[in-house]
Structure 1
Amino acid sequence: MRTIPTLLVSLTALTQSMFAIAAPTPLTPQTAEYQVNYGDIELGKAKYTLPNPEDGVYKYRFDSDLSLLLLTDVRHILSEFTQENSQLSPLRYLQQRQGVGPNYTEQTAFAKAQGFIHTRYKDEKGKFPYEGEIFDPLMVQLQFRLDMVSGKEALDYKMVKDNELDEYKFHVIGRERMNIDSGSYDTVKIEVVRDNKKRQTFFWMAPDLAYLPVRLTHFEKGSKQLDIKLLKYHFDEVVSQESTPADIAEQPQVPKLLGTTEG
């Protein structure tokens, strides 16, 4: 007769053969929350949310609520895009800003079939040709992560921002261990390429977390201006069924937490 420990080992092996937990990718449904500081002063928090796509369309969200003394800045951004293999294509972009100073809305419609991009920023309209690979300021982060996963060397991106076409280039500095309040991470350090050193931006991405950024620092004339650190994150578990009995396969699959960290 089998002992209880032997039965438990057999059950565990059977379960592992039935379900394979996939590692997260940059497009795995996820949330990430960050602490935003101005130097050493806490400004508030920012949150990124990527749910499951709907009818093939991804809806990536960014929400932030920052304040410094009597100054406030609240932003809500939504990016809609599609995916073909490892390439993302933008559809619509919406940013709403409220707080001290002018409130405004920014909207961009990417009409790829017609070959044009239509924009509206602070009540000013713009129109640009849709040529080559182009992104909005939010979903370009996910394209960057996909390119890091695939080992792409040329990290150059053209995006529409503030009724203008901008090009950004990034340089991989190397690997670095990053220790912050939410944990210790093996990261790749990246620098934004600029013509001079008056402005410098560095960020650290964790390969084990599908290159999720864990920290960003921005310097103006050598003085730290922004310091953004990961507070917590989670990826929805992706489960692939290899060989499942019919009675188990008919049961609904409930998304589970794949990885979390709390600050």
Structure 2
Amino acid sequence: MESASPRRRYLVRSGTVRKYSRNRQLLGGLLIGLIGLFLSDALAALPPEFSARYRVSLGSITVGEARLELEHLPDDRYRYRSVSRPTGITGLFYRREVSEYSEGKVTDSGLQPERYYYERRGRGSRNVELRFDWEKGRVINLVADDRWQMKIPPDTMDRLVSQLQLMDDLKNGTSELEYRIADGGLLRTYRLTVEGRETLHTRLGEFETLRVTRQQTEDDSRATTFWAAPALNYLPVRVDHRERNDAYRMTLDEVKGF
């Protein structure tokens, strides 16, 4: 993978929890709003199998948690999962859990998703499935009883596995990052920039990190910054997200596998 060429992938998008009528997407959005070494030559895009737990806070108040898990499958394949849920007093008013997983394979050019699934349980339940047909260069979208398809370029990803690809891009020294994501029936492009190095103090200890920001557009006032730790294969140890007047933070509280 050449560091001189920006990769077209995507980080995660963030959402909100407090102000329940307006901010219903915090936990799932922050993960997908988050923040992704070959065992063979093909598997260089995958970090080791791992699991991670993040604390989600609004100001000084903890409002939820998010969990990630990567599994290596036979034949240079992967399965990546995320689960986010409200905790504490937030869970009393906001009974919703969001689960996602992505399955696919590792190719010489990077991670290639084959299936992505999103499930939101509780109030406002929703199921979404994406099926990638690489022979025909398309993705099939299944949402409730609706089914449609759209053309996609070869480097398109789903919004979950793009986290893993980003981790690999940072490991390879790419500073200008661009990602194309099939999301909501649209092909979205996200651009990220490595701004520098910073030392962070966390519950797990002190980490040297790369500070990465998502570039804003004129019609999008949201701002996302995350800190990726080389010692953890560039897994984010913190993610900050600002939207309107709300500021959210995801902090790594537990990690296994690194």
Which range, TM-score by smaller chain?
A: 0.7 to 0.9
- Where does the alignment leave 5 or more consecutive residues of structure 1 unmatched? 1-23, 236-258
AA at the equivalent of 2:127: T
Q: What corresponds to 1:49 in structure 2?
A: 69
How far 1:86 moved relative to its partner?
5.4
How far 1:121 moved relative to its partner?
2.8
Tell me, in whole angstroms, the C-alpha distance in 2 between the residues paired with 1:99 and 1:216: 26
Give the direction of change, closer, same or farther, for the CA distance of 1:86–1:232 in structure 2 (3 Å limit): farther
AA at the equivalent of 2:121: Q
AA at the equivalent of 2:50: Q
Kindly tell me the number of residue pairs found equivalent between the two proteins.
211
> Which shifted more, 170-179 or 119-128?
119-128
Q: Compare the two structures and name the one with the higher strand fraction.
A: 1
Note if 1:71 corresponds to 2:94: yes
AA at the equivalent of 2:230: P
Tell me, in whole angstroms, the C-alpha distance in 2 between the residues paired with 1:94 and 1:192: 24
Tell me, in whole angstroms, the C-alpha distance in 2 between the residues paired with 1:192 and 1:130: 22
Give the direction of change, closer, same or farther, for the CA distance of 1:25–1:58 in structure 2 (3 Å limit): closer
How far 1:54 moved relative to its partner?
2.8
Q: Match for 2:115 among 62, 86, 92?
A: 92
Matches within 5 A, 1:20-35: 26-35=46-55
How far 1:175 moved relative to its partner?
0.3
AA at the equivalent of 1:165: L
Which entry has the higher C-alpha Rg, 1 or 2? 1
SS at match of 1:170: strand
The TM-score normalised by the length of structure 1 is 0.75
AA at the equivalent of 1:205: A
Tell me, in whole angstroms, the C-alpha distance in 1 between the residues paired with 2:82 and 2:222: 24
Matches within 5 A, 1:164-175: 164-175=186-197
CA contact (8 A) 1:111 1:130 kept: no
Q: What corresponds to 2:225 in structure 1?
A: 202
SS at match of 1:98: strand
Q: Match for 1:110 among 115, 121, 132?
A: 132
AA at the equivalent of 1:91: E
Tell me, in whole angstroms, the C-alpha distance in 1 between the residues paired with 2:189 and 2:144: 21
AA at the equivalent of 1:72: R
CA contact (8 A) 1:26 1:211 kept: no
Note if 1:36 corresponds to 2:56: yes
1:144-174 deviation per Cα after TM superposition (whole angstroms, max 9, x unaligned): 1111111123300000112221111001110
Tell me, in whole angstroms, the C-alpha distance in 1 between the residues paired with 2:241 and 2:172: 27
Tell me, in whole angstroms, the C-alpha distance in 2 between the residues paired with 1:188 and 1:123: 43
SS at match of 2:76: coil
The TM-score normalised by the length of structure 2 is 0.76
How far 1:204 moved relative to its partner?
0.4
CA contact (8 A) 1:120 1:163 kept: no
